[in-house]
Structure 1
Amino acid sequence: MSLDQYGLYLVAVLIAVLTPGPAVMLGITNSIRHNMTTSFVGALGCVSATGLMGALSAMGLGAMIMASAILFDIIRFAGAAYLIWLGLKMWKASGKVAVDISPDRVAVHPGYLRCYVRGFLISASNPKAIAFFTALFPMFLDPNAPLMTQFAALDGTFVILSFSSIMGYALLAARSKDFLLGSARKWFDRVAGSIFVSFGLALAASHR
């Protein structure tokens, strides 16, 4: 893989990771409702799943999943149901606006392990990521160079940029935390919940 090819790959990945999706929305939500550490743990969960899917694609399993309509639909509908459930849960919690808006009273912390698992499931339940890797990786591979080294570089780059994007959005959201934890808290939860539901519906309506 030449430097020119890698540069083109960076551009493609930046466009992908800077476009807000469920993982970015989770980072923003964790930052607003809890703290940056929670966003960090959730982002680790997201990129762990992303890196795993990149590895599966490198081993050819991504193409197998894309070829199986039943397996693809199982993953797709499970992911859609999970995103919709998260969105409805946020809507339900939107009426419970804390009077004391100090960090300890913003929301009951679910625990870091649950935050990690939630991030992992959000990314792992999106088969579109596997499709992205399966379609993208071959475009930037040099067949005359060691393939696994190239796969590791491509997958690692995506993971690092994805993590940086999630944390960047979370940091921007944290700077608006005082406003969003005041009277706007209820509306933030409802907007965020609606976005998660819309992501779920879009995933359910998508095709291979």
Structure 2
Amino acid sequence: MSLDQYGLYLVAVLIAVLTPGPAVMLGITNSIRHNTMTSMVGALGCVTATGLMGALSAMGLGAMIMASAILFDIIRFAGAAYLIWLGIKMWKASGKVAVNVSTEQAVPHPGYMRTYLRGFIISASNPKAIAFFTALFPMFLDPNAPLMAQFTILDSTFVILSFSSIMGYSLLAARSKDFLLGSARKWFDRVAGSIFVSFGLALAASHR
């Protein structure tokens, strides 16, 4: 893989990770409702799943999953159901907690293990990521060079940039935390919940 190829790969990955999706929305939600550390833990869960899917694609399992309509649909509908459940849960929670912005914690913390697993599930249950890796990796590989080293570089780059993107959005959201945990708290929960539901419906309606 030449430097020119790697540069093109960076551009493709930046476009992908800077486009807000469920992982970014989770990071923003964790930042607003809890704190930056919670966003970081959730982001680590997301990129762990993303890195594993990149490894699966490198081993050829990604292509196998994409070839199996039943397996693809199982993953797709499971991910859609989880996103819709998260959205509905946020809608139900909207306005229930009277928030004082001077308090340290706006809502009960779910715990870091649950936060990590939530991020992992959101990314792992999106088969489109496997399709992305399966389609993208071969475009930037040099068949005459060691493949494992190239896969490691491509996968690690995606993980690092994805984590940076999630945290960048989370830190920007943290700047408006006082406002969003005040009178706008109810509307933030409802808007965020609606976005998660829309992501879930879009995933359910998608095709290979």
Contact (CA 8 Å) 2:31, 2:173: kept in 1 or not? Answer: yes
The residue identity in structure 1 corresponding to 2:191 is V
State the match for 1:72 in structure 2.
72
Deviation track 1:10-52 (CA, whole Å, cap 9, x = no partner) reads 0000000000000000000000000000000000000000000
**90-99 vs 175-184, which moves further:** 90-99
Q: Distance in 2 between matches of 1:105 and 1:113?
A: 18
Residue in structure 1 matched with residue 63 of structure 2 by the alignment: 63
Q: Secondary structure at the match of 1:104?
A: coil
Shift of 1:103: 4.5
Contact 2:45/2:116 (8 A) holds in 1: yes
Q: SS of the counterpart of 2:207?
A: coil
Distance in 2, matches of 1:26 and 1:103, equals 22
1:32, 1:181 within 8 Å by CA — same for their partners in 2?
A: yes
- TM-score norm. by structure 2 comes to 0.99
Structure 1 counterpart of 2:48, one-letter code = S
Name the amino acid aligned to 2:193: G
Q: Deviations over 1:82-139 (max 9, x none)?
A: 0000000000000213242335340000000000000000000000000000000000
Partner of 1:3: 3
Instruction: Tell me what 1:190 maps to.
Output: 190
Instruction: State the AA in 1 paired with 2:134.
Output: T
Worse overlay, 103-112 or 39-48: 103-112
- Determine the C-alpha separation between the residues in 2 that align with 1:72 and 1:148: 26
The one-letter code sitting in structure 2 at the alignment partner of 1:187 is W
Do 1:32 and 1:177's aligned partners in 2 also have CA atoms closer than 8 Å? yes
- Write the distance in 2 (CA, Å) between the matches of 1:100 and 1:188: 15
Structure 2 Cα separation of the partners of residues 37 and 141 of structure 1: 36
Give, in whole Å, the separation in 1 of the partners of 2:133 and 2:201: 22
Tell me, yes or no, if the aligned pair for 1:75 and 1:126 is still in contact at 8 Å. Answer: yes
CA RMSD of aligned residues (A): 0.7
* Structure 2 unmatched runs, 5+: none
| Preserved contact between residue 24 and residue 165 of structure 1 (Cα < 8 Å) | yes
Contact 1:34 1:103 in 2 (8 A): no
- 8 Å CA contact retained: 2:100, 2:181: no
Matched residue type, 1:50: T
C-alpha contact (below 8 Å) 1:98/1:105 kept by paired residues: no
How much has 1:62 moved relative to structure 2? 0.1
Instruction: Give distance in 2, aligned partners of 1:25 and 1:35.
Output: 14
Give the conservation status (yes or no) of the 8 Å contact 2:90–2:189: yes
Map residues 94-109 of structure 1 onto 2, 5 A cutoff.
94-109=94-109
Q: Tell me, in whole angstroms, the C-alpha distance in 2 between the residues paired with 1:3 and 1:165.
A: 23
- Give yes or no for contact 1:87–1:192 (8 Å, CA) kept in 2: yes
Report how many residues are paired.
Answer: 208
Q: Is the 8 A contact 1:62 1:134 kept in 2?
A: yes
Quick check: 1:94–1:190 contact (8 Å CA) kept in 2? yes
Q: What's the % identity of the aligned pairs?
A: 89
Hey, what does 1:122 align to over in structure 2? 122
